[in-house]
Amino acid sequence: MAAIAITVFFWAAAFAGIRAGLDSYGPGALALFRLLVASAALAVYAAIVRMRLPEVRDLPAIFLAGFLALAFYHTALSFGQLTVSAGAASLLINTAPIFTALLAATVLGERLEPIGWIGMLASFVGAALISVGEAEGYALDLGVIPILLAAIAVSVYLILQRPYLAKYGPLAFTTYAVWAGTLCTIVFLPGLVTDLGHATPQATLAVIFLGVFPTAVAYVTYAYAFSRMPAPVAVSFLYLIPALAFLIAWLWLGEVPTLLSVIGGVISLAGIVVVNTRGRQR
């Protein structure tokens, strides 16, 4: 439970941290900086526990996992948060279980009950309401698109990682993926060097925080908790993240969500809960 509490808190704080880091860093540079810090922290841990290296034949899958869940995910999320508030971004990212269920039904042959499809539709309606609420009008905030793409990327990763979690364990495979994701974002190095020259100390500390705590520490604590409690229970605690993300964004950044975003978030989360509790065929 302590590991879950640490995970939820740091993952909720990540959305405000991204907004703070974007004050001085471009989205790509922020993603690379964050992953460099996380890679260094996990390298120290790997050296201490003498973590074994992956087999050569598994490297293509590891690089694909790193690209999807780390490089693409963090870059797309950072781009989206240029215009989307921290709390709303946390709600949109929480649609990942919906995409995972849809992919599992398509790729793995898992069947959804009719109520599951209703929950999925409700979640997408909620996401649309969040987009309109973030635009503060009747237009759609296009920043929602890269965040939803980030959620899809994580969903593909969750399907892809299954056999490798069994082979290497959640902590080791996550470490490999972080290292691979860092290599995939190295293209943003020139931009990072430029941004470092004029970044404020507050923005730099925010990105270092993102690398150490939401990325390295929280991935470790979630892997620890995930390996010691039933998966549905571990996943259910992640539904606490949006509410905490709104609170942290208000305290850290002074962000106040629009009413439409909150309504859309409630609808979207309700749909996600329906899909994950009653929507899948047992």
- Asked if residue 208 has pLDDT above 80, the reply is yes
Q: Residue 68: inside a domain, yes or no?
A: yes
Domain containing 76: what range?
2-91+143-248
Q: Residue 131: inside a domain, yes or no?
A: no
Question: Which pLDDT does position 268 carry in this prediction?
Answer: 73
Q: Residue 151: inside a domain, yes or no?
A: yes
Q: Residue 119: inside a domain, yes or no?
A: no
Residue 168's closest CA among 4, 282, 57?
A: 57
Q: Which of 105-109, 135-139, 180-184 has the highest mean pLDDT?
A: 180-184
Question: Which pLDDT does position 138 carry in this prediction?
Answer: 46
pLDDT class of 152 with cuts at 50, 70, 90: confident
- Asked if residue 254 has pLDDT above 80, the reply is yes
Give the mean model confidence (pLDDT) for residues 133-144. 61
Q: Domain count of the chain?
A: 1
- Asked if residue 105 has pLDDT above 70, the reply is no
Greater pLDDT, 165 or 61: 61
For residue 251, how many other CB atoms are within 10 A of its CB?
11
Q: Residue 193: inside a domain, yes or no?
A: yes
Using the structure block, give the residue that is written with the tokens 């293509």: 60
- Asked if residue 226 has pLDDT above 60, the reply is yes
Average pLDDT, the chain: 83
The amino acid sitting at 16 is A
* pTM to 2 decimal places: 0.83
Q: Residue 163: inside a domain, yes or no?
A: yes
Q: Residue 137: inside a domain, yes or no?
A: no
pLDDT class of 75 with cuts at 50, 70, 90: very high
pLDDT tens digits, 115-124: 777 777 777 7
DSSP 45-69: HHHHHTPPPPPGGGHHHHHHHHIII
Q: Residue 259: inside a domain, yes or no?
A: no
The amino acid sitting at 1 is M
Six token digits for residue 276: 């994950």
Question: Which pLDDT does position 108 carry in this prediction?
Answer: 60
Give the mean model confidence (pLDDT) for residues 11-23. 94
Whether residue 178 contacts residue 38, with contact meaning beta carbons closer than 8 Å, is answered with yes
In whole angstroms, give the CA distance from residue 65 to residue 58: 11
Question: Which pLDDT does position 239 carry in this prediction?
Answer: 73
In whole angstroms, give the CA distance from residue 99 to residue 155: 6
pLDDT class of 46 with cuts at 50, 70, 90: very high
